[in-house]
Amino acid sequence: MNAFNRLRGFVQTPAGRERDVLRLLPRVLVFGTLLLALPSLGARIFFGEVDGIGARLNGLAERRRTMVRLLVVALAAMACPLLARADQPPLPLGELAKPGRLLMLRHAHAPGIGDPPNFVIGDCSTQRNLDASGRAQARELGARLRAVGLANARVFASQWCRARETARLLNLGPVESLPALNSFFERQGDRQRILDDLRAFLAKLPVDGQPVILVTHQVVVNAFTEATPPAGGGSIFQINGTGAPQWIGTIPIEAR
């Protein structure tokens, strides 16, 4: 990657863009197949290939038309869940007040990508941090959560300063550091260990306990759901006594 960074005109896209592109591929395949097949299928169905042909050929054409209809129905059925997943609206924040709910939240807005080469845990001067809009975003989300009755949540954050500051500005109670929420964006060798530790932590949470808020990073959230979170966004899960809580939906994001 460092070699490409030195090329003129190199621009690094935000993390997660590749995942967004890959999520579009099934829909492109479905609709592309439909577009290519429809002209031929329409000609066979509406112009008929059996006018003036005997009963045997008529039966063959009818079977062919039946297969065509089944193909169209199957393709449409494949497309419907994809569209529903893409267009699914965010859940109301009040969902988080229910027992056993968990919010996996990406830290609020922090300009840039990744961290400086001299990154040190515990030294915020070596890290990418929240800007003024990110701090306002965290405060606003905290106010919205308190407004729906979320005043007794347990709050955990990664050891990154931007995650800890986001959690603190939510103003929902004491913030506990949890290394299992740390980013592995630039440390892929730590990925498996971090996720194993996080799954072990999740498996121990009570299924009917108070809501839990985990302030973490995009790569961690995307290890549990394809719903890529924007800064200050996240997903709601139902704790189920395993290391893979049930994904329920995303939270609404208000414009900064």
Whose CA is closest to 232, among 199, 248, 255? 255
- Domain count for the chain: 2
Is 2 a member of any domain?
A: no
Instruction: Please report the pLDDT score of residue 219 as a whole number.
Output: 96
- Domain assignment of residue 8, yes or no: no
State residue 89's pLDDT score.
83
Let me know whether 52 and 175 are in one domain. no
Both tokens assigned to 50: 């059996």
Q: Are residues 158 and 217 in the same domain?
A: yes
Distances in Å between the Cα of 227 and the Cα atoms of 16, 30, 144, 204, 223 are 10, 21, 21, 24, 10
The answer, yes or no, to whether residue 120 has pLDDT greater than 80, is yes
**pTM exceeds 0.85, yes or no:** no
> Do 215 and 172 sit in the same domain of this protein?
yes
Task: Confirm whether 163 is domain-assigned.
Answer: yes
Give the pLDDT band (50/70/90) at residue 151: confident
**CATH number of residue 124's parent domain:** 3.40.50.1240
Q: Look at residue 19 and tell me whether its pLDDT is greater than 60.
A: no
Asked whether residue 178 is domain-assigned, the answer is yes
Cβ(30)–Cβ(82) under 8 Å?
yes
Verify that 70 and 114 share a domain, yes or no.
no
Q: Is 102 a residue whose pLDDT tops 50?
A: yes
* Residue 12 pLDDT: 46
Helix (H, G, I), strand (E, B), or coil: what is residue 210?
A: coil
The whole domain housing 53 covers 17-87
pLDDT(35) > 50 = yes
Residue 132 placed within a domain: yes
The pLDDT value recorded for residue 1 is 43
- State yes or no: pLDDT of 139 exceeds 90: yes
Answer yes or no: is 9 within a domain.
Answer: no
> Do 246 and 206 share a structural domain?
yes
> What would the two tokens of residue 63 be?
């079977």
pLDDT at 99 over 70: yes
From 30, 54, 87, the end of a domain falls on 87
Better-predicted residue by pLDDT, 26 or 21: 26
State the pLDDT at residue 135.
98
Sorting pLDDT into bands at 50, 70 and 90, what band is 23?
low
Per cent of the chain over pLDDT 70 is: 64
Per residue in 227-239, pLDDT (tens digit) is: 999 999 999 999 9
**Per-residue confidence (pLDDT) for residue 83, from 0 to 100:** 38
Residue 216 lies in a domain: yes
Res. 66: pLDDT tops 90: no
Kindly indicate the confidence band of residue 152, based on its pLDDT and cuts at 50, 70 and 90.
Answer: confident
At 15 the pLDDT is: 43
d(CA 70, CA 76): 10
The answer to which of 1-10, 122-131, 167-176, 179-188 has the lowest mean pLDDT is 1-10
Which of 38, 63, 87 corresponds to the end of one domain? 87
Check whether residue 119 and residue 53 sit in a common domain: no
| 62 shares its domain with 101 | no
